[in-house]
Chain A
Amino acid sequence: MEANSKPAIGLRTFGVVYAALAIITLVEILLADSQGGVANPALTPAFLFFSLAKASLVAAFFMHLKVDSKFYTAIFLFPAVMLLIFALLATVR
């Protein structure tokens, strides 16, 4: 594994990604607090976008999927896509 697992991503990039994750989380908390702790459906798309952005950053950079074999990405995303398909099918009556 060592031969092909050397990071092509530098520590500075990891630091930037971590800062981005921290800022997004802070924005999420402030947005939620501004609603007095009550879920506001109007903010749901924004929260989902933030969540997707954070998960993508962790997977792409911290888990090295950005520079690793695309096969790993496919293995990881396939069950997630299947879940989405099942969820959509479940809404069809």
Chain B
Amino acid sequence: MSTEVALHEEEFRAGRFLGIDHRKLGMWLFLGSEVMFFGGLLAAFLHYKVNNPSPVEHDLLDVTLVGINTFILLSSSFTVVLALDAAQHSKRQRLVAFLGLTILLGAAFLAGQGLEFSDLYHHGMTLSSSVYGSSFFTLTGFHGLHVLIGILWAGLTLRKGALGRFDDGKSAGVELFGLYWHFVDIVWIVLFTLIYLT
């Protein structure tokens, strides 16, 4: 086996062939499929919103509360970036602290969403009250579910970090979690505009 072929094999096994890491590639392909998933739900929501306008229900939406929630989620993306930096520099305490903060911010976002849902239900807008309500709760509910999954994933990553699994600078686990979390953030940025602001 020539040196070139051996090098090629080594790079391939290491998952760095052509600069593409297999795990990251898998995550990006997953995120691509998630774009289609949320795209379908969003298309359904916009279709119903345009063809069955419900200004009364739209006026029930609390832009200020949801705006604060948006800021909370954006802040959690920043703490994930700081956690990744800590992992890459083998700073265990910082990693655990920032992942813990991420979990708290994610939980705060879900609490805000719970408040919003509770208020809307109190005013008669429910999952079955209208087409607008159905598509609204389906879309935002699935996003909330993604945040919940992200919180659980952050908890697992935090545990690994606390046990020192990232102490040698191997930050792949944090980076993959981060990609998922940032994607959930991007989805919310789009939903905030298309549902609440327009």
Contact = CB atoms under 8 A, between A and B. Distances in A.
23 contacts: A1-B175, A4-B21, A5-B24, A7-B85, A14-B81, A22-B71, A22-B74, A29-B67, A41-B198, A50-B193, A59-B182, A62-B81, A63-B178, A63-B183, A71-B20, A75-B25, A75-B31, A75-B32, A76-B35, A79-B32, A80-B35, A80-B39, A87-B43
B185 A2 contact: no
B197 interface: yes
B67 A32 contact: yes
B152 interface: no
A32 B20 contact: no
B70 A25 contact: yes
B16 interface: yes
Interface in B13-60: 14-16, 18-21, 23-25, 28-29, 31-33, 35-36, 39, 43, 58-59
A32 B186 CA distance: 20
B24 A18 contact: no
Interface string A62-93: 11000001011001101110110011001000
Given A22-B71, A78-B32, A32 B77 contact: no
B119 to A, nearest CB: 14
Interface residues of A, number: 49
Given A2-B169, A28-B197, A11 B185 contact: no
B183 A79 contact: no
Residue from B61, B85, B186 having most chain A Cβ neighbours under 10 A: B186
Contact of B182 (A3, A50, A58, A78): A58
Contacts of A83: 35-36, 39, 43
Chain B interface mostly: helix
Q: Is the interface of A mostly helix, strand, loop or mixed?
A: helix
B15 A1 contact: yes
A44 to B, nearest CB: 5
B74 to A, nearest CB: 5
Contacts of A26: 71
B196 interface: yes
Contacts of B81: 14, 62
Greatest chain A CB density within 10 A among B31, B58, B74, B169 is at: B74
A48 B193 CA distance: 7
A75 B189 contact: no
